[in-house]
């Protein structure tokens, strides 16, 4: 077998299973003496069997081809010219051998399995929503095929009609168009071949890098793991953001909501978390729902520039995509993540954002004439998100031990977290990071409001080293914020109050972090220890950020063994604490000159 790969097209009357495609590829690989990869295209016009086109060779094993050749023979046409319904093709009279045997067996299988197809006819079409009669045995969520290769999902099952939302070719479906049942729900490719790729919610590539070579296909709707399949969340999912890892820790298998007004840094937190998973073995999935195409492009470019695309899959349903595509996008991303989770790997999935997902679902529901409820959302809007987010879990060892951590993003209006969709998702998730625009515009970034943010997993998902140095951090910040308000009205402050204010100012500066610059856990522990022990009170506030970066460089140069030990053991000893104190004193002599 040579190393180069021959590519071709495989036409089939109906969608084939991945293992069937592999079998056909193997037969042709034997014939050609090198690897053959075939791109499947569904063409109902060929009736049954398959057609394979490789280079200038066409292997026609279809029912339509047989009929055409019979017709050609009867009309006395020149041998080898066949009308396959896809144009006149040159057909070499080659020895089919095992390939021919395999194709003939497929035809025989087709002949041996006659059946009655469940069909219907479109009676109304518009705005991407179709009403069809017939389809008596149609199931909810079933994938339906229309004439012209348009596909849709059955949404409303009524006595005589079925309400269908179209996934593609919306303009090709009109009144009178035939619709066929497939007996399947929407399936998408999953596996290692998706890493580094940008796909649409149907798993089709958007990055121009060729076909997706999937390990297998998986239904987008899956039952969430049960109680007995899960175990407690006890491993940290490091975000690389000091303010979050120290006070609002996230665990592997947790569902942590990121909530705030637009332009407050929600996506930035999610991207920093993805960047921080480099070399950790965590697979990342970024699902863009209803975002501007330019915004999604910027995210992809950032991931590529930083090398994060190597372990990331991007599922994109932009604002220009149809409401059905935006609706299925998060379920597609979740199905891709579940494949890795069930194979024992850790997965991080970002849904950006579920506010737009809810709006897409509301659009579909209103077009399907479902009864509207609060804010015109349908009554099952809560179930929409709960069945998605409940699929994120940490599995026990008997089920592979993998995990999927979800970071859903929700946009608020004027900081109102009591809205319908925000309160729904807050009640489903294991905590929330609340981003405040006042903090953002004051230059405190990430703009996390510590008072309104919470992690319901908490210290259970925090390393011992981080828990030891961040114990009083939240309390000190709360005291600082409270005293900061009262100090504006007081003319004279006592020594202890001044010290609390000075300490709070320095902690606030330490917690500030530039975008796309996540911090390693060991560096976070060292910086927090120095700040919490009040070792930085003599460093001017306006120099804290410079001190922070230069001190990390100093530690890496002269105390790398200590950094490595904290990283490996995830703990900090008394001797290391003393060593950090000495290092701070030594560095301040140089820094404050």
Tell me how far apart the alpha carbons of residues 25 and 128 are, in angstroms, rounded to a whole number. 36
Q: Tokens representing 392?
A: 């994120």
**Four-point Cα dihedral 459, 462, 466, 470, nearest 10:** -30
Tell me how far apart the alpha carbons of residues 513 and 173 are, in angstroms, rounded to a whole number. 52
Which conformational region is residue 302 in: left (phi greater than 0), alpha (psi within -120 to 50 degrees), or beta? alpha
Q: DSSP string covering 169-182, please?
A: -GGG--TT-EEEEE
Counting every residue written for the chain, the total comes to 593
C-beta separation of 122 from 175 below 8 A = yes
3-class state of residue 37 by DSSP: strand
Q: Measured between alpha carbons, how far is residue 40 from residues 6, 21, 351 in Å?
A: 15, 8, 30
Q: DSSP string covering 43-85, please?
A: -GGG-SEEEEEETTEEEEEEHHHHHHHHHHHHHTPPTTEEE-S
Dihedrals φ, ψ of 93, to 5°? -85, 80
Number of neighbours of residue 555 by Cβ within 10 angstroms: 22
Decide the pairing of beta strands 88-90 and 142-146: unpaired
Tell me how far apart the alpha carbons of residues 224 and 389 are, in angstroms, rounded to a whole number. 9
**Is 370 an annotated catalytic residue?**
no
Decide the pairing of beta strands 312-317 and 198-199: parallel
Report the run of H or E that residue 185 belongs to, with start and end.
strand 178-185
Q: Which residues are within 8 A (CB) of 227 and not within 5 positions of it... i.e. 6 or more apart?
A: none
Q: Which of 456, 468, 567, 579 is catalytic?
A: 456
Name 50's bridge partners.
12, 61
Angle at 290 between CA 287 and CA 291, to 5 degrees: 80
Name the residue among 17, 23, 566, 24 with its Cα closest to residue 9.
24
* Number of alpha carbons in the 13 Å side-chain half-sphere of residue 351: 33
Tell me how far apart the alpha carbons of residues 66 and 79 are, in angstroms, rounded to a whole number. 13
Tell me how far apart the alpha carbons of residues 66 and 410 are, in angstroms, rounded to a whole number. 56
Number of neighbours of residue 405 by Cβ within 10 angstroms: 29
Q: Which residues are catalytic?
A: 456
């Amino acid at each position: 077998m040579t190393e180069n790969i021959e590519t071709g097209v495989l036409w089939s009357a109906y969608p084939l299973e991945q293992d069937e495609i592999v079998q056909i590829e193997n037969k042709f690989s034997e014939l050609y003496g090198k690897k053959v990869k075939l791109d499947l295209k569904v063409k109902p016009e060929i009736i049954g069997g398959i057609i394979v086109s490789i280079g200038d060779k066409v292997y026609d094993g279809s029912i339509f081809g047989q009929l055409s050749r019979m017709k050609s023979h009867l009309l006395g046409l020149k041998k080898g010219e066949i009308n396959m319904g896809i144009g006149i093709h040159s057909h070499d009279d080659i020895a089919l051998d095992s390939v021919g045997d395999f194709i003939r067996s497929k035809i025989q299988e087709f002949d041996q399995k006659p059946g009655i197809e469940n069909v219907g006819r479109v009676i109304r079409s518009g705005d991407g929503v179709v009403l069809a009669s017939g389809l008596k045995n149609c199931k909810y969520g079933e994938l339906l095929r229309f004439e012209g290769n348009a596909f849709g999902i059955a949404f409303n099952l009524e006595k005589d009609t079925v309400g269908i939302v179209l996934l593609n070719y919306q303009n090709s479906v009109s009144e009178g168009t035939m619709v066929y049942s497939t007996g399947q729900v929407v399936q998408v490719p999953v596996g290692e071949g998706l890493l580094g790729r940008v796909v649409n919610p149907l798993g089709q590539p958007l990055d121009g890098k060729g076909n997706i070579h999937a390990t297998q296909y998986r239904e987008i709707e899956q039952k969430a793991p049960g109680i007995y399949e899960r175990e407690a969340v006890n491993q940290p999912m490091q975000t690389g953001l000091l303010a979050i890892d120290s006070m609002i820790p996230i665990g592997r298998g947790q569902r942590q909501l990121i909530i705030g007004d637009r332009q407050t840094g929600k996506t930035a937190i999610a991207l920093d978390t993805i960047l921080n998973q480099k070399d950790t073995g965590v697979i990342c999935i970024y699902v863009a729902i209803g975002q501007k195409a330019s915004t999604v492009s910027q995210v992809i470019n950032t991931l590529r520039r930083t090398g994060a695309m190597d372990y990331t899959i991007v599922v994109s349903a932009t604002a220009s995509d149809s409401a059905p595509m935006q609706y299925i996008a998060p379920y597609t991303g979740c199905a891709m993540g579940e494949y890795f989770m069930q194979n024992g790997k850790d997965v991080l999935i970002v849904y950006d954002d579920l506010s737009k997902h809810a709006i897409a679902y509301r659009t579909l529901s209103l077009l399907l004439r479902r009864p509207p409820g609060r804010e015109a959302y349908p009554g099952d809007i809560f179930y929409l998100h709960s069945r998605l987010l409940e699929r994120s879990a940490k599995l026990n060892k008997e089920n592979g031990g993998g995990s999927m951590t979800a970071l859903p993003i929700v946009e608020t209006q004027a900081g109102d977290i009591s809205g319908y969709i925000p309160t729904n998702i807050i009640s489903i998730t294991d905590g929330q990071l609340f981003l405040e625009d006042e903090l953002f515009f004051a230059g405190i970034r990430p703009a996390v409001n510590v008072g309104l943010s919470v992690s319901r997993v908490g210290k259970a998902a925090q390393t011992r080293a981080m828990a030891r140095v961040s114990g009083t951090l939240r309390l000190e910040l709360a005291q600082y914020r409270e005293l900061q308000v009262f100090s504006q009205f007081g003319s004279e402050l006592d020594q202890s109050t001044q010290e609390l204010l000075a300490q709070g100012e320095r902690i606030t500066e330490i917690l500030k972090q530039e975008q796309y610059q996540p911090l390693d856990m060991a560096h976070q522990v060292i910086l927090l220890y120095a700040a919490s022990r009040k070792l930085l009170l003599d460093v001017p506030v306006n120099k804290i950020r410079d001190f922070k970066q230069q001190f990390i460089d100093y530690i890496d140069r002269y105390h790398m063994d200590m950094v490595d030990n904290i990283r490996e053991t995830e703990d900090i000893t008394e001797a290391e604490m003393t060593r950090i104190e000495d290092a701070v004193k030594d560095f301040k002599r140089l820094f404050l000159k």
